[in-house]
């Protein structure tokens, strides 16, 4: 069978694969397209096992560039060199990048300089905070991409403000939500609630990893004071990010977070958990406190109140149409909003966040590449 078009998908780290998975699955069902899945290896993740890809119902990557760590410039430059070499030896009709990591920009730049069309999934998201490296990656990638696929109408509006013409923009919905719907039944089978001795609605869920929150002791202590109030009413389940663990130890805050004595009444500290376990924890939480972008989206669809511990968000649709509340890192704001929103559920959900974004993408991109 002859496939008329070939797509090259780029993923750099575990969260990228959550976005790539539904796109790859859509291609696997189509007779009109073949694809290559490239893992740049920007982050080493010991949990990226065969089981991980099986859970997402996608094959293992065809190629791992093994870029590894280093500074932003090192990662970006090394990715461009490795990807350029690949493109010179392998023909493709379009390079598809997702999100806002360094590999997103690096591979978009490289493809454009090889005169290969670039499609950006999750276009038009803006925090308006250019101190965030992700914001620079988003702006630059959108500026050079040929096809810009947005998750929501506010992203369309933002791109038009930046001078992008209508013909380049297509609102398909949120591919991360495709992955969520595809895995809900499997997540329900997880026994993690039994493992931590919790029942649905009985706990708060916390994730904390952004440098602006965990690298500054005063900021982290301010968040902790808010969390102490939360913990008096609900146990806090806390999958501990390696970066956060390192900073908590360097600031001498182990006792406050109970990272010495895991499983105490107020903080249930866990090692990082798998996607299905995290989805089960998210779906069944009473309330969530996070500085993650993805959780803002997932809680919006699941209707779980989400207090976002950041001064801004590149996903404002989760506030206007979902269950997300932007509280920053101020102790009193955390306390006030926890008291207001605990035990609440939301039924609002953005249009097209329905599990079919990837199908809309594939239908559109094949039309554009004809």
CB 41 within 8 A of CB 66: yes
Which residues of the chain form CATH 3.40.50.2000? 5-174+353-369, 184-341
pLDDT of 318: 96
**How confident is residue 347, by pLDDT bands cut at 50, 70 and 90?**
confident
Q: Are 242 and 69 in contact (CB under 8 A)?
A: no
- Computed over its alpha carbons, how large is the radius of gyration of the chain? 20
Mean pLDDT of 248-266: 76
Tokens of 189: 């089978």
How far apart are the C-alpha atoms of 32 and 93, rounded to whole Å? 13
Six token digits for residue 221: 């202590």
Closest CA to 209 of 247, 262, 264: 247
Alpha helices in 29-71 (DSSP H): 50-55
Residue bearing tokens 């990082």: 272
287: pLDDT strictly greater than 90: yes
Residue 325 confidence class, pLDDT cut points 50, 70, 90: very high
Separation CA 264–CA 24 (nearest Å): 42
Q: Output the pLDDT for position 124.
A: 98
Residue 1 pLDDT class (50, 70, 90 cuts): very low
- Tell which residue, 45, 60, 40, has the closest CA to residue 14: 45
264: pLDDT strictly greater than 70 = no
DSSP type of residue 140 = H
Fold of 5-174+353-369: Rossmann fold (3.40.50)
**Catalytic one of 120, 209, 260, 356:** 209
Give, in degrees to the nearest 5, the angle at Cα 219 between 214 and 220: 50
Cβ within 8 Å of residue 283, ≥6 positions away: 184, 187, 302, 304
| Structural contact between residues 301 and 349, judged by C-beta atoms closer than 8 angstroms | yes
pLDDT of residue 51: 74
- Is 209 among the catalytic positions? yes
pTM, two decimal places: 0.92
pLDDT at 43 over 90: no
Give which of 285, 48, 314, 301 is closest to 179, Cα–Cα: 301
The CATH architecture of the domain made up of 184-341 is: 3-Layer(aba) Sandwich (3.40)
Mean pLDDT over each residue of the chain, to the nearest integer: 93
111 versus 13: which is more confidently predicted? Answer: 111
Per 3-state DSSP, what percentage of the chain is helix, strand, and coil (rounded to 5)?
45, 15, 40
Residues 6+ apart with CB under 8 A from 86: 38, 63, 65
């Amino acid at each position: 069978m002859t496939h008329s078009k070939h797509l090259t998908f780029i993923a750099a780290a575990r969260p990228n694969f959550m976005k790539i998975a539904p796109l790859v699955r859509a291609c696997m069902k189509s007779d009109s397209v073949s694809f290559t899945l490239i893992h740049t290896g920007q982050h080493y993740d010991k949990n990226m096992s065969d089981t991980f890809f099986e859970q997402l119902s996608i094959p293992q990557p065809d190629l791992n560039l093994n870029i590894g760590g280093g500074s932003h410039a090192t990662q970006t430059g090394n990715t461009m060199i490795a990807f350029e070499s690949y493109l010179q030896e392998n023909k493709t009709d379009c390079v598809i990048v997702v999100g806002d990591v360094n590999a997103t920009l690096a591979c978009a730049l490289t493809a454009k300089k090889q005169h290969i069309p670039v499609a950006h999934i999750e276009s038009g998201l803006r925090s308006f905070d250019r101190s965030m490296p992700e914001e620079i990656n988003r702006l630059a990638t959108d500026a050079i991409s040929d096809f810009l696929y947005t998750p929501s109408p506010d992203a369309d509006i933002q791109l038009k403000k930046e001078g992008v013409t209508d013909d380049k923009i297509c609102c398909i919905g949120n591919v991360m939500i495709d992955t969520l719907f595809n895995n809900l039944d499997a997540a329900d089978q997880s026994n993690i609630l039994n493992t931590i001795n919790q029942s649905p609605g009985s706990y708060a869920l916390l994730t904390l990893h952004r440098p602006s929150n965990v690298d500054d002791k005063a900021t982290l202590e301010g968040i902790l004071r808010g969390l102490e109030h939360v913990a008096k009413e609900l146990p806090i389940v806390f999958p501990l990010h390696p970066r956060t663990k390192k900073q908590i130890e360097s600031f001498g805050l182990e006792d406050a977070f109970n990272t010495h004595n895991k499983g105490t009444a107020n903080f249930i500290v866990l090692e990082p958990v798998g996607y299905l376990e995290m989805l089960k924890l998210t779906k069944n939480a009473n309330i969530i406190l996070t500085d993650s972008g993805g959780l803002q989206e997932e809680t919006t669809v699941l209707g779980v109140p989400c207090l976002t511990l950041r001064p801004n968000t590149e996903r404002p649709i989760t506030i206007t149409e979902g269950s997300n509340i932007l509280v920053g890192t101020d102790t009193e704001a955390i306390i006030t909003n926890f008291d207001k929103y605990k035990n609440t559920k939301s039924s609002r959900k953005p249009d097209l966040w329905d599990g079919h974004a990837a199908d809309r993408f594939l239908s559109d991109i094949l039309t554009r590449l004809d």
